[in-house]
Amino acid sequence: MSSTMTTTIRHIGQGTAIFTAVAGAATATLGGLAYRFTCDTRSPLFVKNSQRANEAVGEQLRQSDNAEQQAASRWFHDTRQSWTTYSEDGLRLHAWVLDPDSVHPRPHWYAICCHGFCGEPQEMAKYALRYARMGCTVIVPAMRAHERSQGRYVGLGYVDRRDVMCWINLVVRADPDASIILHGNSMGAVAVMLAAAEPDIPRQVIAVVEDSGYSTIDAELRFVAKTMLKMPRGIGLQTVAVMNACARIHTKSDFRRGDCLCAARRMRVPLLCVHGTNDTMVPYEFMDRIAASYRGPLCRTFSVQGAGHTLSASTAPDAYWNAVRGFVEAAAGWREA
């Protein structure tokens, strides 16, 4: 081999190494920015995300029956009571508690309703009222780093699973005879599914309703990178990997462990999966994957044609709540059996 060719090859190798280093640094920067945009509440972009989430809630309200929504909002603001507890890592967590709104309250029955990413307890008012009319005492937590709950970084459902456990344990300590329903929308759905699969989940949890939950945090981040951010597959995968590394640094968590498919296999609590067929935020097929992974005593699925992300209860309210009530009664019967 001539010296000229050797020199050329050496230069090509050096150029490739430089390009790889630059590309790696760019991807790391992109991943860090993506994590801050998604999870850091101090980022100004997080405020814009919150505004978009509020716009989504506004769309949900526009598709709702006005009288029902207005009644739910008034009831929520007029009757709510403030609760606090502390997370396992020392954050003060806040929730609103609402008494049953029924002439036939069900003693010892509770529903814990968890909102989604960048949301707030207020968006769960209509869900809370429905459960209250079923006779339940309703707890509506503010997820960590949302509304009045402390925290800088959003957990996307994984860290939140243990916060949900804190609320469950608070109820159980106050009422050992409790029967607890967990209901979550989107990120809240992930939190309640992961909580229900925890080894220390109390027997008092009798049912889980997940609405528009993602199969895994990793899969959802990859979906967003591909469809919304239009990233090439390789860059998207590397960006998600960097985001996971940032989560390990800032919250001591691993997004890869936010796996609802594994949770469904471990879960021994009845599960209802709900999803709208026109969901562009969380793919509809995620529901089928979760249901197919379930190995517990009772699993049902409920699809709403044409419904967008977390809009199933607004698109088909009667069918939605008939499905929920039927499932809860079946879950209660399974427990008694």
Provide the pLDDT for residue 127. Answer: 97
Provide the pLDDT for residue 29. Answer: 74
Provide the pLDDT for residue 24. Answer: 44
Residue 252: phi and psi, rounded to 5, are: 55, 30
Provide the pLDDT for residue 237. Answer: 87
Sort strands 92-98 and 137-141 into parallel, antiparallel or unpaired: antiparallel
The Cα 172–Cα 204 span in angstroms is 7
The Cα 283–Cα 277 span in angstroms is 8
Provide the pLDDT for residue 58. Answer: 55
Per the domain annotation, does 230 fall within a domain? no
Which range of residues forms the domain containing residue 299? 65-216+258-336
Provide the pLDDT for residue 5. Answer: 42
Per the domain annotation, does 46 fall within a domain? no
Q: What's the gap between Cα 261 and its chain centre?
A: 14
In order along the chain (337 residues), what is the average pLDDT of each group of 10 residues? 48 40 52 82 67 53 63 93 96 98 94 95 96 98 96 94 98 98 98 98 98 96 88 87 89 88 97 97 97 97 97 95 98 80
Provide the pLDDT for residue 46. Answer: 62
Per the domain annotation, does 173 fall within a domain? yes
Per the domain annotation, does 139 fall within a domain? yes
Contact 77/98 with Cβ under 8 angstroms? no
Provide the pLDDT for residue 15. Answer: 42
Per the domain annotation, does 312 fall within a domain? yes
Provide the pLDDT for residue 114. Answer: 98
Provide the pLDDT for residue 231. Answer: 86
The enclosing domain of 130 has a CATH number of 3.40.50.1820
Provide the pLDDT for residue 17. Answer: 38
Total number of domains constituting the chain: 1
Per the domain annotation, does 320 fall within a domain? yes
Contact 314/127 with Cβ under 8 angstroms? no
The Cα 61–Cα 151 span in angstroms is 28
Provide the pLDDT for residue 176. Answer: 98
The Cα 250–Cα 11 span in angstroms is 40
Per the domain annotation, does 122 fall within a domain? yes
CA distances 37 to 50, 104, 262, Å, are 11, 46, 28
Contact 284/169 with Cβ under 8 angstroms? no
Beta strand extents in the chain (DSSP E only)? 81-86, 92-98, 109-114, 137-141, 179-185, 205-211, 271-276, 299-304
Per the domain annotation, does 154 fall within a domain? yes
The per-residue pLDDT for range 131-142, each reduced to its tens digit, is 999 999 999 999
Residues in the chain, total:
337
Where b means 16+ CB within 10 Å and e means fewer, 192-216 reads bbbbbbbeebeebbbbbbbbbbbbb
Reading across the β-sheet that carries 205-211, which strands appear in turn? 81-86, 92-98, 137-141, 109-114, 179-185, 205-211, 271-276, 299-304
3-state secondary structure of 105: coil
Whole-structure pTM value: 0.87
The per-residue pLDDT for range 78-108, each reduced to its tens digit, is 999 999 999 999 999 999 999 999 989 999 9
Residue 107: is it exposed, middle or buried by C-beta count within 10 angstroms (0-12/13-18/19+)? exposed
The Cα 164–Cα 17 span in angstroms is 47
